[in-house]
């Protein structure tokens, strides 16, 4: 059997994962193409006068998924970065004098809940027992299924599991079976926001996220989240992956139902036997392929429920800040009246939720001495009209609340500010409707109801990442790369070297 040339498009978590799996587990020659001048996709970093900013993901959850990923290659996360568990895990701010520091210790967490709502600690035990079961079945079985056929999910044992995993009940109803205090309810519903929808529209299956949060903890890789990417790149290159940067793809050329050539914007042409794309699925489907090879229609894509976009601010502050933790969730405004604005309706919300991360409180390497690195995120509906005037308006809305609640002047101490929103997601990642997180994990967009990991008309074209299975987020993207690699190995009957 001749050695096959695999071309992987995109060096985000999913692309790096797919490329590295194929490079180690097969005899294929693997080339990874990255549009930008550095790896990581949304997990890139940038530096400015001693400040080091992670551009995207800032939460490290599900450490077992990272451990399993590196273990596949005979490695450990500690071979590439130093990981610490945050305690408190994060802070939830409900108002000027209403703040919860979420302890890493489970017993301390239960005691905190009991102070708010007597009996909530005991109820948490039952809630987490279910969540643990969902996590173990979901993360270690369901999310690894390629979802190419309904028959993957029809074994008697799995059907019983699916019933036990509450896929037909909303997360909101599930949480309210155990807790009634509004503060606790919002705290328990918070993790599903990572999945791109409100708790009313997310299946209760995803209480597995609460297990990840409360039981497995919130972690941080010293020197920043980009250290994960740095480690993955090093591992990929150790396994023989060739990475080309500033290599934007202009077209995937198809001959006789096979993707044969990848043509770059530069004019370079790269031959391929197998193509895996971790680039934005819609962009590939509608702009890199001849329309006759598209997997889905324009109507299909317009009907998808997208996860939010985001307005981001990267701030360098010339003093130390008080009354903030590494991660801070500002729930000082109710989500309810604004949920549609955040997730669906094309308008800017009047009273946005926001999140603030200050990694320099944990890690002095990401800011100059005596200063702070601040990352602000405002979730917004995709496809909004994005302008500098609107960004500036929302900067001041957020800073007004941040300064008032934390009791300190911040704006006058900001010596560096960069904003990032819809137009940047489109420019840098060709993100469909400027989304930040991919496709929302609603019931009707789960498993086989997601965009397929394989093109229906081009035999050797596969997809990986947040718009296909298993879904959005860093751990799912790591898993996605492994899933697509396994499918290629099976489809082509490639001998496994590992």
- Say which CATH number the domain at 199 has: 1.10.405
CB within 8 Å of 494: residues ≥ 6 apart: 1, 4, 26, 27, 28, 488
Q: Tokens for 200? A: 């009313």
CB 470 within 8 A of CB 438: no
Decide if 452 is inside a domain. yes
pTM of the model: 0.96
Decide if 93 is inside a domain. no
pLDDT tens-digit readout, 163-205:
678 888 999 999 999 999 999 999 999 998 778 788 998 999 9
Q: Which of 429, 385, 317, 337 is CA-nearest to residue 40?
A: 429
Q: Which H or E run includes 126?
A: helix 120-140
Q: Do residue 284 and residue 313 come from a single domain?
A: no
The Cα diameter of the chain in Å comes to 68
Q: Do residue 30 and residue 121 come from a single domain?
A: no
**pLDDT at residue 70 in the model:** 98
Phi, psi of 157 (to 5 degrees): -65, -40
Number of folded domains that form the chain: 3
Q: What's 363's domain CATH number?
A: 3.30.519
| Cβ density class 47-86: b for 16+ within 10 Å, e for less | eeeebbbbbbbbbbbbbebbebbbeebebebeebbebeeb
Q: Do residue 273 and residue 160 come from a single domain?
A: no
Decide if 434 is inside a domain. no
Q: Do residue 344 and residue 235 come from a single domain?
A: no
**pLDDT at residue 345 in the model:** 64
**DSSP three-state, residue 430:** coil
Q: Do residue 321 and residue 424 come from a single domain?
A: yes
Q: Do residue 161 and residue 253 come from a single domain?
A: no
CB within 8 Å of 411: residues ≥ 6 apart: 399, 403
CA distance 300 to 302: 6
Task: Kindly give the confidence (pLDDT) of every residue in the chain, 498 residues in length, as a single tens digit, with 9 standing for 90 and above.
Answer: 579 999 999 999 999 999 999 999 999 999 999 999 999 999 999 999 999 999 999 999 999 999 999 999 999 999 999 999 999 999 999 998 899 999 999 999 999 999 999 999 999 999 999 999 999 999 988 899 999 998 887 776 666 666 678 888 999 999 999 999 999 999 999 998 778 788 998 999 999 999 999 999 999 999 999 999 999 999 999 999 999 999 999 999 999 999 999 999 999 999 999 999 999 999 999 999 999 999 999 999 999 999 889 999 999 999 999 999 999 999 998 765 445 556 666 788 888 889 999 999 999 999 999 999 999 999 999 999 999 999 999 999 999 999 999 999 999 999 999 999 999 999 999 999 999 999 998 889 999 999 999 999 999 999 999 999 999 999 999 999 999 999 999 999 999 987
Q: Do residue 60 and residue 126 come from a single domain?
A: no
Q: Which H or E run includes 314?
A: strand 309-317
Decide if 455 is inside a domain. yes
CA distance 116 to 438: 35
**Domain end position, chosen among 409, 429, 449:** 429
Q: What sign for the dihedral angle of Cα 423, 424, 430, 434?
A: negative
Q: Do residue 43 and residue 70 come from a single domain?
A: yes
| Residue owning tokens 């590494």 | 326
Cis previous bond, 80, omega within 30: no
Q: Tokens for 46? A: 């940038």
**pLDDT at residue 339 in the model:** 56
Q: What's the Cα-to-Cα distance from 323 to each of 73, 97, 187, 403, 408, rounded to whole Å? A: 42, 11, 19, 10, 9
CB within 8 Å of 398: residues ≥ 6 apart: 313, 352, 354, 376, 378
Q: Do residue 328 and residue 419 come from a single domain?
A: yes
Q: Do residue 320 and residue 412 come from a single domain?
A: yes
Decide if 314 is inside a domain. yes
CA distance 497 to 83: 30
Strand segments (E) across 381-464 = 414-420, 461-463
Mean pLDDT taken over the chain: 94
Decide if 218 is inside a domain. no
**Domain end position, chosen among 154, 177, 211:** 211
Q: Do residue 51 and residue 71 come from a single domain?
A: yes
**pLDDT at residue 4 in the model:** 97
CB 322 within 8 A of CB 394: no
Decide if 114 is inside a domain. yes
Note down the domain range covering 41: 5-82+224-303+439-491
Decide if 277 is inside a domain. yes
Pairing, β 51-54 against β 83-85: unpaired
**pLDDT at residue 151 in the model:** 83
Q: Do residue 316 and residue 425 come from a single domain?
A: yes
| Residue owning tokens 């309210």 | 176
**Domain end position, chosen among 169, 188, 211:** 211
**DSSP three-state, residue 184:** helix
């Amino acid at each position: 059997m001749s050695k096959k040339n695999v071309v992987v498009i995109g060096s985000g978590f999913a692309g790096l994962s797919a490329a590295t799996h194929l490079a180690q587990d097969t005899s294929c020659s693997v080339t990874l193409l990255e549009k930008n001048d550095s790896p990581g996709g949304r997990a890139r970093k940038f530096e400015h006068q001693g400040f080091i900013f992670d551009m995207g993901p800032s939460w490290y959850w599900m450490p077992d998924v990272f451990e399993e990923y590196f273990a596949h290659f005979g490695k450990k996360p500690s071979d590439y970065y130093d990981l610490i568990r945050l305690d408190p895990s994060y802070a939830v701010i409900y108002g000027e004098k209403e703040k919860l520091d979420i302890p890493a210790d489970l017993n301390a967490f239960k005691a905190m809940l009991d102070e708010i709502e007597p009996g909530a600690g005991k109820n948490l035990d039952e809630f987490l027992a279910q969540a643990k079961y969902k996590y173990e079945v979901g993360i270690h079985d369901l999310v690894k299924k390629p979802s190419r056929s309904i028959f993957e999910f029809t074994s008697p044992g799995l059907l019983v599991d699916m019933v036990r995993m509450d896929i037909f009940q909303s997360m909101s109803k599930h949480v309210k079976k155990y807790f009634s205090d509004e503060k606790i309810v919002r705290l328990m519903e918070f993790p599903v926001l990572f999945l791109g929808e409100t708790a009313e529209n997310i299946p209760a299956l995803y209480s597995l996220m609460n297990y990840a949060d409360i039981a497995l903890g919130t972690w941080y890789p010293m020197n920043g989240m980009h250290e994960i990417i740095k480690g993955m790149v090093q591992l990929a290159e150790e396994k023989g992956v060739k990475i080309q940067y500033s290599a934007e793809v202009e077209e995937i050329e198809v001959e006789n139902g096979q993707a044969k050539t990848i043509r770059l914007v530069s004019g370079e042409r790269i031959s391929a036997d197998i193509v895996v794309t971790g680039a934005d699925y819609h962009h590939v489907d509608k702009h890199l392929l001849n329309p006759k090879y598209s997997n889905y229609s324009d109507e299909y894509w317009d009907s998808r429920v997208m996860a939010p976009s985001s307005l981001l601010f990267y701030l360098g502050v010339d003093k130390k800040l008080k009354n903030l933790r590494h991660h801070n969730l500002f729930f000082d405004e109710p989500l309810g009246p604004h949920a549609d604005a955040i997730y669906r309706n094309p308008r800017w919300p009047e009273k946005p939720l926001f999140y603030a991360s200050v990694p320099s409180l944990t890690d002095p390497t990401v800011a100059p001495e005596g200063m702070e690195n601040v990352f602000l995120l405002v979730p917004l509906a995709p496809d909004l009209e994005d302008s500098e005037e609107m960004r500036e308006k929302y900067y001041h809305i957020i800073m007004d609340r941040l300064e008032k609640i934390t009791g300190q002047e911040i704006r006058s101490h900001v010596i560096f500010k960069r904003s990032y929103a819809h137009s940047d997601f489109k420019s840098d990642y060709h993100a469909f409707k400027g989304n930040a997180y991919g496709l929302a994990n609603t019931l009707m967009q789960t498993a086989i109801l997601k965009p397929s990991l394989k093109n229906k008309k081009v035999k050797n074209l596969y997809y990986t990442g947040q718009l296909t299975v298993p879904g959005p987020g860093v751990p799912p993207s790591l898993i996605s790369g492994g899933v697509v690699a396994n499918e290629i190995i099976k489809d082509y009957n490639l001998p496994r070297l590992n």
